[in-house]
Structure 1
Amino acid sequence: MKRKTITISSFPLFPLIIFSICGSFASSNKLDRGSSLSVEEHDSDILTSPGKTFTCGFYGLGSNAYWFSIWFADSSDRTVVWTANRDKPVNGQGSKVTLRGTGSLVLTDVDGSVVWETNTTSTDARSLELLDSGNLVLRGHDRTILWQSFEYPTDTLLPNQLLTKSKKLVSSLRGGAFYSGYFNLYFDNDNVLRLMYDGPDISSLYWPNPDFNVFGNGRTNYNSSRIAVLDETGHFQSSDQFQFNASDRGRGIKRRLTMDHDGNLRLYSLDTQSGSWVVTWQALPGLCNVHGICGRNGICVYTPEPKCTCPPGYEMSEPSDWDKGCKPKFNFTCSKSPDVKFVPLPDTDYYGFDVIYNNNASFNFCRQACLDDCSCLGFSYRESERLCFTKRSLFNGYKAPSFPGTFHLKLPISLVASLKPTRNGSDPECSGARDQLLVGSLTLYDNIGKRVRWAYLYWFASAIGVVEILVFFLSWWILFRKRDVQSTVEDGYRMISQFRKFSYEELKNATQNFKKEIGRGASGSVYKGVLADQRVVAVKRLGDVYHDEEVFWAEVSTIGRINHMNLVRMWGFCCEGKHKLLVYEYVENQSLDKHLFSGDFIEWRDRFRIVLGTAKGLAYLHHECLEWVIHCDVKPENILLDKTFEPKIADFGLAKLLQRDGGNSQFSRIRGTKGYMAPEWALNLPITAKVDVYSYGVMVLEIVRGIRLSNWVAKKVENEEQEAELTAFIREMRRRIQRGEDLGIEDLVDKRLEGKYSRKQARMLVEIGVSCVEEDRNKRPTMDAIVHQLLEIDDEPKLPESDNED
């Protein structure tokens, strides 16, 4: 394999050889045709701009995820300004970037698959160069630019980099990650530069102010050139007449304009002494003006920092992930007016999704309009202007003292009654920090009322000296106690995901000396327990394989940061000498195998939900986690079911806890269960996420058929005839799929369903299962692609009365 060459024409040959032997202390700004940059040498295999401002190469996050990126060399955090493969990180072993003889720049993963490439195939591209501007360019033999990174921005615009109608800046999904997020800076069809939230549920413009028209915002839509640029002095101007200046305007300062993950557009200047960035301009002074920042039903509040909260009667859909917003604690049905009640939320509104807009409307009219509409979730009323807005969806919620109205939230009267004790006391559901930026609290509105009452008491106490002294001492005592409790909590909990370290004695008491065993596997035994706070948990005692305490701590902290509704939640751990335990949430309905292969019956709609939920959980582990967790033991025994039969993947982190050779993708011992193990294990090939895809495929076929297909595989060593039967089954299914023939679904689907299933869904599941068990792992789909396939048929009817035909 060719590597990048360094041309230093003024140096004699001998010193050049010495430099090469010593590992090449210098770096080049040029990669010649036929040469490569290797991920294994990511610290030295780099391109550096002539002025040493920018560096290009493999940028690593987590333990095994790398991106081909450009970053500021002299910023303390090596701030990335461009990424080629932002949504598809590559492996830390075997990945490389090559300027091929065809003229295209190609990024390949460990298995040789192409992850990203330039559109310059069959060109005369001779070299790849990193310029002082931060622009990465492919040049032809006559030095013409054939391709440049400036034409394909990610979330950052550099000085003299043009933003045109064909480009946009897309935020990262969260801080410290590169994956594409939901906030965009782009030129709209009316030639106006805008910020937009483009989330999974809605799209909503929020800058410039959507309450004003184009001219009211000081813009023009007459200029169709659609071009904007930031110059070297910190002056930005756009063809729609929008412009601004950096607060430190002047030359000689390194700057970047970034679409940040929180939805705000900011201009940064680099402090060369500290290497840190200083904000010198931002589009929005308050983050609560950013749409979508708190997800569906969420409300953004200044406290004074912007934070997210759920309204009364709602709770976070996924802890620590405000993108998913809040979900109701109730099922809304079309109820008569006596069955519902409105809870007022002062100074609060949800932007958009208005059903009725009325000028000069009375409060009673507005209230009745919402009562008469089954889909109405609440109404906003502005008393001073007599304006009425009823809402069918609750997005873009915010609370601000300047808002001249009240939002009236529609709730079942039974739920409103149950909320009253919570208002009068402390909120039992109040949790610690759930996110680095946004922290929720269900009792926010009650706390506002409490602050008003305390303010009144303090005013009254100020008039009575003696009472004031008593209040002072009482306040001091409460503060002391609070600080003491806080310090204790902080010692036990990490600020991410409420992750706690337990003592061995605590878990011994919680499980009554490990009395009730509820499961056993290769990694250890699982016991049911009840914590001091009455939470029911599952406690796993790990075996002797986890002897390295340093590795255990590092890996467990990684697992603690992983959070998804289809993964069993880990609440904490214990690491005391030989005692190493993991504490998980307790899942009520046991594992999938207990239902699927026994007398218990699972309806089709639940089977499909299990298939989809499991796919979502694995896709999260494979594609979203910076640590790239590979489960390595996907099977029905490791799929737990909650009370609504929503699947939760268990043991998803234990693969990471096993020792690996140098942190690469080759595990030092075989994992998995016979019948679900991919051929890679036996062939001693590098282990990738495709081993989970194989196991998932076997499980999907089992869910459709309702029997242990994996038993056929397990017996193949003893009975060659059984092996031929399984091979013949897969081959025949594959042949029928390729020819578009009838699969004979009636003979494949579990007879216990008595024909009550969706034929279209059943056929899709068989096709997915067969594609997942391909011997060639490169032919297997990714979990992300499987999720997309399943979502397309998620709303299919489940019963044969409405689905009789193929």
Structure 2
Amino acid sequence: MAFAVSTTAQRYGNVTLGSSITANKANSSWVSHSGEFAFGFQQIIPGGYLLGIWFNKIPERTVVWSANRDNLVQEGSKVQLYADGKFELTDPSGHRIWATTMSHDRVAYGAMLDTGNFVLANKNSVVLWQSFDEPTDTLLPTQTLNKDGKLVSSFSKTNYSRGRFLFTLQNDGNLVSYTRNFPLDDVIFAYWSTQTVGSGFKLIFNRVGYIFLVAENGTILNYLSSNKALTSEFYQRAILDYDGVFRHYVYPKSSKSSGSRAMAWSTINFIPTNICLRITQDTGSGACGFNSICSFGTDQIPKCDCPFGYSIIDPNDRMSGCKPNFATQKCDGEARGMNHFRFTDMPNTDWPLSDYAYFRVVTEDWCRQNCLDDCFCAVAIYRDEMVIVGRGDILSPMRGLILKDLLGLNIRRLNFKELQVVTDGFKEELGRGSCSIVYKDILKNDNIETVVAVKKVEKMATKGEQEFKVEVCSISKSTFKNLVQLLGYSDEGQN
């Protein structure tokens, strides 16, 4: 299987050397021969213009490519194809904002093609530069994504700047969707891939609406969309949407070709099938933002909500995360104010990988009280007699308030007064360290006596209550040869 694109076989209106477009309310543009695509400026916000390419025959004027997505320009800015072949975007003062990266001395003209591709060509119609080689977040029919090619999602539905997700055909041949370490360019978590390391070569979007990954010999390795949609009947685009989902959209060109479809963009395929469940990273904002809940509805679009007592940070960005509408609990001794807090149950909800403590074989009531006693605790997730505690300042994206499976702690929470009695007032000392003393103790359980060592922290104020809990958690998971097993702990105020 082989594919070729011939610019000479396509209809277009030439853009002559010396031509320019100015960003203003006149909305002038360079239009393709069919009128289906246009190149020029769109006003995105008052006083802010985007240089881009869009579908020109539909009311939405949907943008498919942009030059300055991270840096909107002011009215009076200009894009110009200079007499020497340079192609640049400048602000009103003449400062260069964007330019093509190629040798410009052989450019004879520019053209907006009917495929949605803007090209610069020489006098023999050989393409020297094309927008198809530098995609932003969208692919169009006849466009390919080669190795090291990438799409970066927009930040939101109305903000075209680079956002939180990346879709790329890696040099190793694997086609992968990543969460980005926003606002930096490095990636965090791969939430979908074709698993084609060593074999993937090129992603193709053909004229009949199929999107597929091929090997170097042309063998099809993976279909991303296999729903036939002729370009003669539908406008089409494949986009890494701002929510991280790669979607194939179609728009009927006429009522005759629409069938049962509305005269609007509709999805015919999307990857992954449930973004809420696929993003399970331990850092970053995930599918919906910090402290938020992601659910997947019948409309195939992830829904972002806030837990009770929280509200969305930016009403214009549903993925901005959630902030508490209350003062957080204090950690100062008697002034903790535990009576001002209560739990809100949220069935079938989870915040995975945001945990800082695990407990096993406990009751739900114990779980609630333990979280209320802990001034760092913001969420307790309970399932099958296990509890996970999440800190408020490190809540992971997604997802809610119940419990997932624990790798946990088979330990008891002991009563301090009980320990005082069985150690005879901490009488028999076994040893001491810089901030603790170890005593001998005998614990009774079902008439079985177990000799144990009790380490009593003497400098709790210095050590810190939270540090103590972290140490308990750490020791409970340790299985070294010369380390005795941790059976339980007592945590009552300064004791």
TM-score with structure 2 setting the length:
0.62
**Aligned-pair CA distance for 1:144:** 2.7
What code does the residue aligned with 1:179 have?
S
What code does the residue aligned with 2:97 have?
V
Query: Quick check: 2:351–2:396 contact (8 Å CA) kept in 1?
Result: yes
Mapping of residues 194-593 of structure 1, within 5 Å: 194-198=176-180, 200=182, 205=189, 207-208=191-192, 219-223=194-198, 225=200, 227-238=202-213, 241-250=221-230, 252=232, 253-273=234-254, 276-286=264-274, 288-289=276-277, 292-301=286-295, 307-328=303-324, 329-332=326-329, 334=331, 339=338, 343-355=344-356, 361-363=360-362, 367=367, 377-383=378-384, 389-392=388-391, 393-398=394-399
Structure in which a larger fraction of residues adopt helix = 1
Determine the C-alpha separation between the residues in 2 that align with 1:338 and 1:362: 28
What code does the residue aligned with 2:327 have?
F
Structure 1 residues 309, 199: CA separation in 2 closer, same or farther (over 3 Å shift)? farther
Structure 1 residues 42, 68: CA separation in 2 closer, same or farther (over 3 Å shift)? farther
Report the secondary structure of 1:397's partner residue.
Answer: coil
1:75 counterpart = 2:58: yes
| Cα-to-partner distance string for 1:456-476 (whole Å, 9 max, x where unaligned) | xxxxxxxxxxxxxxxxxxxxx
- The share of aligned pairs that are identical, in percent, is 30
Report the secondary structure of 2:381's partner residue.
Answer: strand
| Cα-to-partner distance string for 1:345-397 (whole Å, 9 max, x where unaligned) | 32111133344678xx42459949978987554343432xx776543422222
Report the secondary structure of 1:349's partner residue.
Answer: coil
Determine the C-alpha separation between the residues in 1 that align with 2:146 and 2:139: 11
- The structure 1 residue matched to 2:16, chosen from 26, 32, 44, is 32
Determine the C-alpha separation between the residues in 2 that align with 1:330 and 1:164: 51
Query: Quick check: 1:103–1:124 contact (8 Å CA) kept in 2?
Result: yes
Query: Quick check: 2:381–2:403 contact (8 Å CA) kept in 1?
Result: no
Query: Quick check: 2:388–2:404 contact (8 Å CA) kept in 1?
Result: no
Report the secondary structure of 1:348's partner residue.
Answer: coil
| Cα-to-partner distance string for 1:273-327 (whole Å, 9 max, x where unaligned) | 2652222112244564475343211113467775433223433334444343222
Structure 2 spans left out of the alignment, 5+ residues = 1-10, 216-220, 256-262, 280-285, 407-495
What code does the residue aligned with 2:213 have?
S
Structure 1 residues 381, 64: CA separation in 2 closer, same or farther (over 3 Å shift)? same
**Aligned-pair CA distance for 1:60:** 2.6
State the match for 1:3 in structure 2: none
Determine the C-alpha separation between the residues in 1 that align with 2:65 and 2:14: 18
Structure 1 residues 172, 222: CA separation in 2 closer, same or farther (over 3 Å shift)? closer
Structure 1 residues 239, 42: CA separation in 2 closer, same or farther (over 3 Å shift)? farther
Query: Quick check: 1:348–1:406 contact (8 Å CA) kept in 2?
Result: no
Query: Quick check: 2:239–2:248 contact (8 Å CA) kept in 1?
Result: yes
Report the secondary structure of 1:61's partner residue.
Answer: strand
Determine the C-alpha separation between the residues in 2 that align with 1:380 and 1:226: 44
Query: Quick check: 2:292–2:398 contact (8 Å CA) kept in 1?
Result: yes
What code does the residue aligned with 1:346 have?
P
**Aligned-pair CA distance for 1:405:** 5.2
What code does the residue aligned with 1:47 have?
W
| Cα-to-partner distance string for 1:86-136 (whole Å, 9 max, x where unaligned) | 12222333x221122443210112221111111125532221122222111
Stretches of 4+ moved more than 6 A in 1?
A: 335-338, 368-374
Determine the C-alpha separation between the residues in 2 that align with 1:278 and 1:153: 22
Query: Quick check: 2:210–2:228 contact (8 Å CA) kept in 1?
Result: no
State the match for 1:54 in structure 2: 37
Report the secondary structure of 1:160's partner residue.
Answer: coil
State the match for 2:416 in structure 1: none
| Cα-to-partner distance string for 1:12-55 (whole Å, 9 max, x where unaligned) | xxxxxxxxxxxxxxx96222223322335854x43222333321
What code does the residue aligned with 2:154 have?
S
Note the aligned Cα RMSD (angstroms): 3.9
Structure 1 residues 49, 406: CA separation in 2 closer, same or farther (over 3 Å shift)? same
**Aligned-pair CA distance for 1:149:** 0.7
What code does the residue aligned with 1:228 have?
L
Report the secondary structure of 2:42's partner residue.
Answer: strand
Structure in which a larger fraction of residues adopt strand = 2
Query: Quick check: 1:288–1:301 contact (8 Å CA) kept in 2?
Result: yes
Determine the C-alpha separation between the residues in 1 that align with 2:358 and 2:112: 55
| Cα-to-partner distance string for 1:739-770 (whole Å, 9 max, x where unaligned) | xxxxxxxxxxxxxxxxxxxxxxxxxxxxxxxx
Determine the C-alpha separation between the residues in 2 that align with 1:129 and 1:397: 45
Higher relative contact order (CA 8 A, sep 6+): 2
What code does the residue aligned with 1:132 have?
D
Determine the C-alpha separation between the residues in 1 that align with 2:112 and 2:247: 25
Report the secondary structure of 1:350's partner residue.
Answer: coil
Report the secondary structure of 2:350's partner residue.
Answer: strand
Mapping of residues 93-112 of structure 1, within 5 Å: 93=76, 95-112=77-94
Structure 1 residues 356, 235: CA separation in 2 closer, same or farther (over 3 Å shift)? farther
What code does the residue aligned with 2:222 have?
F
| Cα-to-partner distance string for 1:464-489 (whole Å, 9 max, x where unaligned) | xxxxxxxxxxxxxxxxxxxxxxxxxx
1:88 counterpart = 2:71: yes
Moved more, 152-161 or 244-253: 244-253
What code does the residue aligned with 1:238 have?
L
1:115 counterpart = 2:97: yes
What code does the residue aligned with 1:53 have?
E
